[in-house]
Chains A and B, each alone.
Chain A
Amino acid sequence: LREEELIMTEINSHPDDSLWRTVPLPWWAAGILLGLVQVLAIALVKPMSVSEPFVVVDTKVLNRIAPEYSENHPLLSDEQYKKFGYGGWFNIGIILGACFAALHLRTWKIRTVSGWWQRNHNAPVLLRLIGGFCGGVFLLLGAGLAYGCITGQFISGWTQLSLSAIPFTITLFAFGMLVAYLVYPKKPNRFSQEE
């Protein structure tokens, strides 16, 4: 037993091996934490959703710069998309909370590429940024079409056992896995060098 303890301390003190336990929480604790946040949100206001304020921001801009166009537009004239209320502050809260948590955990660091990208594309930063931009366009376009993003439709939909979550989940994972396979064919040697 003493030998094992020695080895354990050796491993724990070794800087390379400490990277093995990179994520702060084990999966079950992480899932329970997020699940409780969702339950709290449902108890207080409504299930969490993230994508709507993006549409609200654009609606506000379009209402300002093209009032004639937006008057006849079925979405822009909708009262729901005119006020930057709970949802908008929720997103600002996400930014603040994430920033605070990252600073507190000392993981706040300027980064541009991920481990999988580095392994597969030899780290051209510009391409990653362009890919990120295109991916962002797809993300919000899809979220708009599907009445909610991954939080708003996949998580909240399943949480409420909504019928809408089923077709969404099927294509989400089918296309997600296909695109991930095409873009990131090679596996990095060690997962998650950071965070």
Chain B
Amino acid sequence: MSNPIVGLIMGVIFGASLVLTGLTNPDKIIGALRLKDFYAIRTVAVFLLVGILGTWILDLFGAAHFDIMPAVILPLLIGGAFLGIGLGLTGFSPATGLASAASGRIDAVITVIGMIFGAHVYILIYPSIVVPLERILNFGSVTLPQITGASAAFWVIPIFAAGSLALFITRSKEPRDEKQHIKAGDSGLSEEFPDPMSSKPIAIQKSLYLKSDCLKAACVFRRWKNLLFMVMLLCLLLNQASFWLVSTGQIEITDNTNNAAPAKESSNPQIFGYDVTFERLTSVLRIANIVLIFTSLLYCLIMYFGMGVSFKGQLGGLGHIGGALFMSLIIFVLLVPWQNFFGAIAMGATFTPNELARWCTTDISDTFGMALFYLRFSGYWTLVLLLLLLAQLRSFRWARIILR
């Protein structure tokens, strides 16, 4: 379908959307490069995420027409640098330059003329410079899934999830600006027209009610947060204790599938006169894992609502609760047992009993294997525990600030 008419129609759609999105405005691009105006960054991020997801879905149905460029490192690095210089100097990319020129920008017209000269320079230097460069460090036309050997889903879904989450978390910037704007207008109005029936006292009363309401909510949240923290800590300790019990050989590993009776039943430790076998440990571990993941999710949500309440009631301590929220999110992400979804590529801090049994029964003789073993079961756990303690500490500071 690569005929001129389709090209023209696609071009019309793309050009019109460039103008509609405001990316033709060089101020947006320069503001993005100077990290002062995040509109273009967010737009392009959504652009990429939708593109990646859509292309993947198209590929699943076999309807995608790929055109993958060769990964020749040196020309790509130099070309990227030149494009960066051009972008930073003008605020136009080739596509937005064309669209801007069409919407009446004389500087963009000049840039387009410059681009034609640039193409000329490229043609002149091609035989002497570009051809030799293409011979070294050429990896061919490959994609990231092809190199890593993983399926495309392994790349697309995490990228999409992480990108959307990042955009979602940072989204509230603009509405907040608007609210502040309204507030500024509010005070300006009442200063200009001093009116005995002005809204000022009502507003103060309202905000007081709001504040006390928010404080009550914050108290409830703090109580629940502490409870969840205790539950999480308990589950984590159970998790680690079971690992140490199994890895030091206190508990004999039995195969669940063929129901062979453990020969050394008597060697199992007894807690309160209760025989701890691997099967019982398995069920405890499973419950602990499920509880752990759910409580960590709830912990994140409590932090989020705490932040919302703190923001709405202007109680302060936003920095602390924000940090705690971020850490609790990391904890949640680390706790999810990714190994069940992606195989051995990604690991979560929680481990299933089967995994524990598999790791403990395989013989590990070399130092690297031992280090990996303890890092996976103990090091990872310590990291999560540390993060949890830090999150709790920061949210404790938040509670102290707002309830003072």
B176 CB → nearest A CB, Å: 13
- C-alpha gap A30/B23 in the complex (Å): 9
What count of chain A residues pass the 8 Å CB interface test?
135
- C-alpha gap A8/B178 in the complex (Å): 10
**Chain A residues closer than 8 Å to B114, beta-carbon distance:** 132-137, 139-140
B247 CB → nearest A CB, Å: 39
Contact indicator B145/A161 (Cβ below 8 Å)? yes
| Chain A residues touching B, majority SS | helix
Who on chain A is nearest to B120 by CB? A58
Contact indicator A144/B99 (Cβ below 8 Å)? no
* CB 8 Å contact bits of A30-50 with B (1 = contact, 0 = none): 111111111111111111111
A4 within 8 A of partner (CB): yes
- C-alpha gap A195/B23 in the complex (Å): 10
Contact indicator B107/A113 (Cβ below 8 Å)? yes
A180 CB → nearest B CB, Å: 4
Contact indicator A138/B103 (Cβ below 8 Å)? no
Who on chain B is nearest to A102 by CB? B103
- C-alpha gap A11/B55 in the complex (Å): 42
A120 CB → nearest B CB, Å: 10
Contact indicator B65/A191 (Cβ below 8 Å)? no
B263 within 8 A of partner (CB): no
Contact indicator B51/A90 (Cβ below 8 Å)? no
Select one of B19, B21, B25, B45 contacting A194, CB under 8 A.
B25
A67 within 8 A of partner (CB): no
Contact indicator A41/B10 (Cβ below 8 Å)? yes
B8 within 8 A of partner (CB): yes
**Chain B residues closer than 8 Å to A160, beta-carbon distance:** 55, 66-68, 143
Who on chain B is nearest to A188 by CB? B27
Give the contacts of B1-57 with A (CB-CB under 8 A): 1-28, 30-31, 33-37, 39, 42-52, 54-55
Pick from B39, B94, B99 the residue with the most CB of A within 10 Å: B94
Who on chain B is nearest to A131 by CB? B89
- C-alpha gap A7/B391 in the complex (Å): 40
B72 CB → nearest A CB, Å: 8
Contact indicator B95/A146 (Cβ below 8 Å)? no
- C-alpha gap A132/B114 in the complex (Å): 7
Contact indicator A137/B54 (Cβ below 8 Å)? no
- C-alpha gap A134/B22 in the complex (Å): 24
Contact indicator A133/B30 (Cβ below 8 Å)? no
* CB 8 Å contact bits of A109-151 with B (1 = contact, 0 = none): 1111111100000000000110111111111111111111111
**Chain B residues closer than 8 Å to A91, beta-carbon distance:** 11, 98
Contact indicator B31/A95 (Cβ below 8 Å)? no
Who on chain B is nearest to A129 by CB? B110
Contact indicator B123/A32 (Cβ below 8 Å)? no
B71 within 8 A of partner (CB): yes
Select one of B1, B33, B178 contacting A44, CB under 8 A.
B1
Contact indicator A149/B83 (Cβ below 8 Å)? yes
Contact indicator B58/A43 (Cβ below 8 Å)? yes
Contact indicator A25/B103 (Cβ below 8 Å)? no
Q: A58-B119, A95-B99 are in contact. Are A90 and B7 (CB under 8 A)?
A: yes
A26 CB → nearest B CB, Å: 8
A195 CB → nearest B CB, Å: 5
Give the contacts of A47-96 with B (CB-CB under 8 A): 47-51, 54-55, 57-59, 62, 73-76, 85-96
- C-alpha gap A172/B82 in the complex (Å): 8
B102 within 8 A of partner (CB): yes
**Chain B residues closer than 8 Å to A11, beta-carbon distance:** 181-182, 185
Who on chain A is nearest to B142 by CB? A163
- C-alpha gap A102/B51 in the complex (Å): 25
Contact indicator B12/A100 (Cβ below 8 Å)? yes
- Give 9 pairs: A residue, B residue, CB < 8 Å, sorted on A: A22-B22, A25-B22, A30-B20, A97-B102, A110-B104, A137-B115, A139-B90, A142-B78, A147-B75
9 nearest A-B pairs in the assembled complex, by CB-CB distance:
A93-B11, A136-B114, A31-B46, A35-B50, A146-B79, A142-B82, A140-B118, A179-B88, A97-B15
